[in-house]
Structure 1
Amino acid sequence: MSENFWLVLAIVLYFGVMVAIGFYSWLQTKKYDDYVLADRGLHPMVAGLSAGASDMSGWLLMGLPGALFVSGMSELWIVVGLFIGTWANWKLVAPRLRAYTEVANDSITLPSFFENRTHDTSRVLRVAAAVIIIFFFTFYVSSGMVSGGRYYESTFGGDYLTGMLIVGSITVLYTFIGGFLAVSYTDVVQGALMFLALIIVPVMALFAVDDPGSLFSYATSNPYGPWPEGNPSYFNMVAGVSVATIIGNLAWGLGYFGQPHIVTRFMALRSPAEAKAGRRTGMIWVAICYLGGIFTALVSTVYFGTTQASVTDQTGFETIFLDLSRLLFHPLIAGIILTAVLAAIMSTMSSQLLITSTALIEDLYRIFNKTPSQTTLLVLSRTMVVVVAVVAMLMAFNPSDTILGLVGFAWAGFGAAFGPVVLAALYWRRLTAPGAITGMIVGAVTVFIWGTFYGDIIYELVPGFILATIAMVAVSLMTKPKPGVEAEFDRAVAVTDYAMAHPEATFEQSMKQAAKS
């Protein structure tokens, strides 16, 4: 049987499992809150894996190895920043956000939380947040579509557009059917696949090279990929890298505080105390996955430099993981491993599609129709999943940027627009609605302008985050919090503190005990 037969068989089986999980989740989804946030019943292990899987996208298996392969270890500053950011997000944001979103009128989306947290009655804050989500997530989903198309090109030698449409359609299908529960459960399967593949592929590639001992020296003085005479600075993290570049790459970690598709997992936990177990699971998963991505790039310099094999993508070299899998394993095994790339792509896309459709319905439509039926909300949310996916596909038809470039722009947008507001909402009693609105708009506009015209100076997230914070604080100090805001802040903090000190307590018990104190 041909190689393509086995590859297709493995991927069809994978697609079948994803759709089956979607249908199972559909049976568990009885009302709108189930579809959007799984009725706040997410197990911490599921939350940890789901947050990691939805975070990494195709960047982990394609963008990161490609960047390290081309530029060397100077690209590791991004990994350092992201690793620290992951830990800080789970530690600082997860427990309080879980408690506060329920205390603040049971908010089920980030825009509704901002509105309820500041008692904003103008609707401007909620609408602005929803528009920012829709704008930047369209670029983010588009990066997933691009990854899907390139995956199909490398794996089957097929047409980019065909691959993009297949991967996009399957992702839309199970998200459309099962909502948040389907997205979270499929993330667990997808996260496990990514984890295993990032261990197996670089290890087997190491066994396949003639001189494994040259792993930490080969790239510096031997031809490979884009370097006809080697890259003497490959292992030097600071050689040829400006201070601005290092700061910009480390700043990727700041972006975590404002990513709606990640912090939504915190909101869905069963209690604030379970953030600790979720953090432990998520940090172990992400640490091993990063190491796998790094060693994939490292061993690829030797493998593709000493064999006749070539990398499919000769521009960004973002297909080295795909190419290694196809070259090193029996087609069936390769197909199973290659589903890890699909898993990374689809897990992120599904989360982003769901968050964007929710912003359209929960944070825009319900402003004008405050009493829609549960059936209407479910139908509209599912419809918006399809609409957003179609727009993202149209944008990805002729990609003009790398996967990392598309992800970087959207990541900066959310990090600058929402990151300062999330932190202030959870840790500063004096935050006001005008301050939050100003901070979000300044952050988003700065990222757009800076990324368009000055992105070669420093990563746009840095000026965006700084200017958004200054604007938010300045305007909040010039205005006053609405009546009841500060008392509600104190109540949310008390609930979080009690829940963390008494992990055996349910959230309802924590609410009651905090009310007594």
Structure 2
Amino acid sequence: MSNTDTIVILIAFAAYLVLMIVIGAIYMKNTNNSEDYFLGGRGLSGWVAALSAQASDMSGWLLMGLPGTVYALGTGQSWIAIGLFLGTVCNWVFISSRLRKYTIKANNSLTLPAYFENRFRDKKRVLLLVSSIVIVIFFLVYTASALSAGGKLFNSVFGVDYHVALAIGAAVILIYTFMGGFMAVCVTDFIQGSLMLVGLLVVPIAAYFMVGADQVKPILDQSGVVGGASAYLSLFRNGDRSYTAVEIISQLAWGLGYCGMPHILTRFMAVKNQKELRKSRVIAIIWVTISLAAAVAIGIIGRVYLFPTILGTEGNASTESVFIEMITKMFTKDTNLPFVGGIFLCGILAAIMSTADSQLLVTASSVSKDIYKDILKPESDEKKVLKVSRFTVLVVALLAFLIAWDPNNSIMGLVSNAWAGLGSAFGPIVVMSLFWRRTNFAGAVAGIVSGGGAVLIWDYLPLVHGQTLGTATGLYSLVAGFALSILCIVIFSLCTKEPSQEILAEFDEVKNWKE
């Protein structure tokens, strides 16, 4: 890539980043209290709710992690995408409407921990504290994955040192999240989600036609894929062997995580009304269907389009840079349209930023609203809570920056660990609290602690001949954590006192609520 091309792409990046900061400044004027900062006054439109939820969900994983693993190992890695598609559909169809209603009915809960506290009438604030700690722990790792992706993007495109690139990306995300809060995050995520979708569609389709349909299999064989092109393109092959049931279950299980993701669930809570929510549901499902299919296509077509370069080999970029390398080649070498290429590269930056900003905001809400305001300093006024929120955003960004410091960290690995932890800790109790009338406080505490704890034990403690349970069994920790959490919720709820009549009446009211 020539110096001129680099400058043109840099201009596109700069314009995009300035736009994000301007949006943060605009919404800073309208952010007067914690409800504005965390939920935008519950005034999200259908389009903004849908695209911001999905953009904040998919992150750099969609444009780097998933295409990279498909590029390296083949179409069989699509089972993750299938699981995520099913999880998205179930989340929007079954969870979104009832959670929105319940958080309004349960004392206008602004955060997920506050919803748990209000739902189960936890006067000792045990649920508030436990769930806030879980959010801080796992969102630090999740935010670090987004910052790491940003560092790799700038490093790959501009040749900037990874650590300098990491600092640039973190600084911009920090500025507009710090200033504008929830509405700034949602509006920027709406723009970012639109940009991601355009890039996901245009680049693989253009590359496919440039290569030619009849050349795909021959070039795959030449590129040295394990097992040959037929195995590489098979959904049921993992290189030179068939997928095992455990592997397929583990990848499909990613879909279980959706109902426990605070940064997605807050979008449901913030939608203006049921009509807008129904609109959001359709938009979000269409968006995720197209995006996941396109991300898988990038991994496959990228293997062909970039040949004879083989990513991940000595001297070449990692496999997670396949989309970046495709855009760079297509718009600087094959078509000489570097500014257009810069805009599409901003789509990757958009994916990264749209997740990091949401995670920063949810973590800030847990610390400032749930821990500081509700537990430590109940007498604090709204302005003080807002200041603590912004300070928390700063601290969390710094800690995530330190976790992401190692350039050898896998984006896929970081996301996998955080997704499992949040999905196991919160997913079961969100589902049970909305749909099982008998769920009580003891069950809620047991579900959160057992789910989050199971993931930490499964992934990090070497209990089997020096190996973790995850490595020894090949089973994704989310499966084990989710199942254990459900079991604990049921057992502890049935073995302890039934919920009060007040709680049961509220459950029935939400169940029968027509808006």
TM-score bracket, shorter-length normalisation: over 0.9
Do residues 442 (structure 1) and 443 (structure 2) align?
Answer: no
Q: Which residue of 2 aligns with 1:455?
A: 470
Moved more, 327-336 or 431-440: 327-336
1:194: which partner in 2? Answer: 196
State the one-letter code of the partner of 2:261.
Q
Asked if residue 356 in structure 1 is aligned to residue 363 in structure 2, the reply is: yes
Quote the residue 1:322 is aligned against.
Answer: 324
Out of 492, 496, 505, the position equivalent to 1:475 is: 492
Residue equivalent to 2:122: 120
Q: Determine if the alignment matches structure 1 residue 398 to structure 2 residue 406.
A: yes
Alpha-carbon distance between aligned partners in 1 of 2:7 and 2:221, rounded to the nearest angstrom: 40
Identity between Structure 1 and Structure 2 (%): 40
Counterpart among 481, 495, 498 of residue 464 in structure 1: 481
Identify the match of residue 426 of structure 1 among 430, 434, 457.
434
Structure 2 residue corresponding to 1:238, chosen from 222, 231, 236: 236
Equivalent residue in structure 2 for 1:346, among 327, 341, 353: 353
Q: In structure 2, what is the equivalent of residue 19 of structure 1?
A: 21
Amino acid at match of 2:112: L
Q: Is the 8 A contact 1:77 1:250 kept in 2?
A: yes
Distance in 2 separating the partners of 1:284 and 1:228: 33
Residue type of the partner of 1:236? S
Q: Distance in 2 between matches of 1:335 and 1:111?
A: 40
- With over 3 angstroms needed to count, the CA separation of the structure-2 counterparts of 1:368 and 1:331, relative to structure 1, is same
| 1:50 Cα deviation after fit | 0.5
SS at match of 1:378: helix
Task: Name the SS of the counterpart of 2:110 in structure 1.
Answer: coil
Classify 1:465/1:219 alpha carbon distance in 2 versus 1 (closer, same or farther; 3 Å): farther
In structure 1, what is the Cα distance between the partners aligned to 2:33 and 2:220? Answer: 58
Note the C-alpha offset of 1:314. 4.7
Cα distance between partner residues in 2 of 1:326 and 1:360? 41
- SS of alignment partner, residue 319 of structure 1: helix
User: Which of 147, 150, 167 is the aligned partner of 1:148?
Assistant: 150
**8 Å Cα contact 1:148-1:164 kept in structure 2:** yes
- Separation in 2, partners of 1:461, 1:314: 33
Counterpart of 1:385 (choices 393, 397, 408) is: 393
Alignment of 1:204-219 (within 5 A): 204-209=206-211, 211-215=212-216, 217-218=217-218
1-side partners of 2:45 and 2:227: how far apart? 51
User: What's the counterpart of residue 269 of structure 1?
Assistant: 271
Distance (Å, rounded) in 2 between the aligned partners of 1:301 and 1:387: 40
Alignment partners' CA distance in 2, 1:316 and 1:12? 25
C-alpha contact 2:261 2:422 (8 A) present in aligned 1: yes
SS of residue paired to 2:354: helix
User: 8 Å contact 2:223–2:310 — kept in the other structure?
Assistant: no
Alignment partner of 1:82 is 2:84: yes
* Structure 2: distance between partners of 1:12 and 1:299: 29
Instruction: Determine the C-alpha separation between the residues in 2 that align with 1:140 and 1:310.
Output: 25
Secondary structure at the aligned position of 1:165 is classed as: helix
Residue 252, structure 1, aligned to residue 254, structure 2:
yes
Structure 1 residues without counterparts, runs of 5 or longer? 500-517
CA 273–406 in structure 1, closer or farther in 2 if over 3 Å, else same:
same
Contact map agreement 2:111 2:366 (CA 8 A) in 1: yes
- Stretch of structure 1 that moved more, 367-376 or 62-71: 367-376
Superimposed CA distance per residue, residues 4-62 of structure 1 (whole angstroms, 9 cap, x where no aligned partner)? 21111000000011011111111221222100100101101110000000000001100
Contact 2:311 2:317 survives alignment (8 Å): no
Structure 1 residue 223: deviation in Å?
A: 1.8
Residues 1:365 and 2:372 aligned together: yes
- Map Cα deviations across residues 245-292 of structure 1 (whole Å, 9 max, x no partner): 100100100100000000000000112343211110101111111122
The answer on whether the counterparts of 1:120 and 1:433 sit within 8 Å (CA) in structure 2 is yes
C-alpha separation in 1, matches of 2:167 and 2:210: 34
Residue 221 in structure 1 maps to residue 229 in structure 2 = no
> CA–CA distance in 2 between the matches of 1:339 and 1:250?
30
Matching residue's letter, 2:496: T
- Residue-by-residue CA offset, 1:176-214 (whole Å, 9 max, x unaligned): 0000000000011000100000111112212332x4323
1:459 deviates by 0.3
User: CA contact under 8 A between 1:96 and 1:272: conserved in structure 2?
Assistant: no
Whether the 8 Å CA contact 1:119–1:482 is kept in 2: the answer is no
- Deviation per CA, 1:318-345: give whole Å up to 9, x if none: 0010011111112211111100000000
One-letter identity of the residue aligned with 1:488:
E
Secondary structure at the residue paired with 2:84? helix
Task: Give me the whole-angstrom Cα distance separating, in 2, the residues matched to 1:380 and 1:299.
Answer: 47
Once residues 62 and 218 of structure 1 are traced to their aligned partners in structure 2, the CA distance between those partners, rounded to angstroms, is 25
Question: Matched residue of 1:30: which SS?
Answer: coil
Deviation at 1:229, TM superposition (A): 8.2
C-alpha separation in 2, matches of 1:31 and 1:336: 35
Residue 463 of structure 2 is matched in structure 1 by none
Partner of 1:506: none
Q: How many residues align?
A: 492
- Contact in 1 for aligned 2:71/2:302 (Cα 8 Å): yes
Tell me how far apart the structure 1 counterparts of residues 95 and 118 of structure 2 sit (CA, whole Å). Answer: 17
Deviates more, 1:117-126 or 1:474-483: 474-483
C-alpha deviation, 1:315, in angstroms: 7.3
1:95 alignment partner, SS class: helix
1:304: Cα distance to partner? 2.1
Amino acid corresponding to residue 456 of structure 2 in structure 1? F
* Aligned twin of 1:510: none
2:487 corresponds to 1:487: no
**Greater displacement, 449-458 / 175-184:** 449-458
